[in-house]
């Protein structure tokens, strides 16, 4: 007799598959076995997985290094990022840089932009939006920055910004988004799927966003 892994009630023997006795819970009807062949993925593996992701490893490599399936790697990434919120930052009267990084999901025609903002002084990432380069998406990032009562916001010459950032604090000079452009290079180096001139790319926008969140905020 086995205690149910899910609800704690009694399980009864229910068939044998691949020579292993299966059990079924009488209450929640879930099938389970007594001892699983592979160990559950613990906290150490999860922490390591995040580090590998942030050091330029793709999902397939992580899967091989940790000997867990690709779908497990994806599942863990999604689980970890769920609890990641952009940091609670209490500041005002600071300068920020906003920039967009171009990539694609699935195929080169399916453009996707990573728009994000950092504090110009300390480089801390403030907010992140992954998706098309639309006013709506850019506005999300801009609004987060505006909520900190910024002294100045530095962007490139993209026209959309003019309509959503108050003119008094909007700066569009050349060489003024140095810090965030350096950060773009960090992302290209450390996030496998953003690397140029490789065959690595995102197949799924949610995974792209999740991997970025792990990099920026974990």
Q: Which is nearer to Zn ion, 1 or 168 (CB)?
A: 1
Stretch that binds Zn ion, among 3-11, 15-23, 35-43, 66-74 (CB under 5 A): 3-11
- Per the CB < 8 A criterion, the answer to whether 150 and 169 are in contact is yes
Total interface residues for Zn ion by CB under 5 A:
7
Subset of 171-200 contacting Zn ion (CB under 5 A): none
Report if residue 4 touches Zn ion, rule: CB under 5 A.
yes
Instruction: Give CA torsion, residues 73, 74, 80, 86, to 10 deg.
Output: 140
Q: Are 130 and 158 in contact (CB under 8 A)?
A: no
The only residue of 14, 24, 28, 206 in contact with Zn ion, by rule CB under 5 A: 28
Q: Taking the complex as a whole, how short is the minimal distance between the CB of residue 33 and Zn ion, in angstroms?
A: 14
Nearest to 156 by CA among 86, 100, 212: 100
User: Residue 112: how many CB atoms within 10 A of its CB?
Assistant: 19
Task: Give me the least distance between CB of 91 and Zn ion, in Å please.
Answer: 49
Closest approach, Cβ 37 to Zn ion, in A, equals: 21
Query: Shortest Cβ distance from residue 19 to Zn ion (Å)?
Result: 24
Q: Does 31 bind Zn ion (CB under 5 A)?
A: no
**Only segment of 26-34, 40-48, 113-121, 180-188 that touches Zn ion (CB under 5 A):** 26-34
Question: Which is nearer to Zn ion, 30 or 151 (by Cβ)?
Answer: 30
Our finding on whether 2 is near Zn ion (CB under 5 A) is no
10: tokens are 């009694």
How would you class 195 by CB atoms within 10 Å of its CB: exposed for 0-12, middle for 13-18, buried for 19 or more? middle
Binding mask 97-136 for Zn ion (x = CB under 5 A): ----------------------------------------
Three-state SS sequence of 80-125: HHHCCCCCCCCCCCCEEEEEEEEEEECCCCCEEEEEEEEECCCCCE
* Residue 25 engages Zn ion in binding (rule: CB under 5 A): yes
Task: Check residue 7 for interaction with Zn ion (CB under 5 A).
Answer: yes
Sign of CA dihedral 50, 51, 55, 61: negative
At 71, list the tokens: 């779908």
Q: Which of 2, 3, 6, 177 binds Zn ion (CB under 5 A)?
A: 6
Q: How far apart are CA 176 and CA 172, in angstroms?
A: 7
Query: Could you list the residues that contact Zn ion (CB under 5 A)?
Result: 4, 6-7, 9, 25, 27-28
């Amino acid at each position: 007799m086995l205690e149910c892994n899910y609800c704690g009630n009694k399980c009864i023997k229910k068939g044998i598959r691949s020579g292993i006795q299966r059990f079924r819970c009488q209450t929640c009807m879930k099938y389970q076995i007594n001892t699983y062949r592979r160990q559950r993925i613990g906290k150490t593996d999860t922490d390591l997985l995040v580090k590998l992701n942030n050091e330029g490893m793709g999902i397939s490599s992580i899967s091989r290094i940790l000997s867990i399936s690709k779908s497990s790697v994806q599942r863990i990434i999604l689980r970890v990022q769920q609890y990641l919120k952009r940091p609670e930052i209490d500041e005002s009267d600071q300068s920020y840089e906003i920039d967009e990084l171009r990539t694609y999901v699935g195929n080169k025609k399916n453009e996707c932009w990573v728009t994000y903002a950092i504090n110009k002084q300390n480089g801390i990432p403030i907010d992140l939006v992954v998706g098309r380069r639309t006013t709506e998406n850019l506005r999300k990032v801009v609004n987060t920055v505006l909520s900190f009562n910024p002294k100045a916001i530095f962007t490139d010459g993209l026209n959309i910004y003019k309509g959503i950032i108050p003119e008094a604090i909007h700066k569009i000079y050349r060489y003024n988004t140095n810090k965030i452009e350096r950060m773009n290079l960090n992302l290209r180096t450390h996030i496998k799927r953003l690397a140029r001139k490789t065959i690595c790319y995102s197949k799924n926008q949610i995974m792209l966003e999740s991997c970025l969140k792990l990099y920026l905020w974990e």
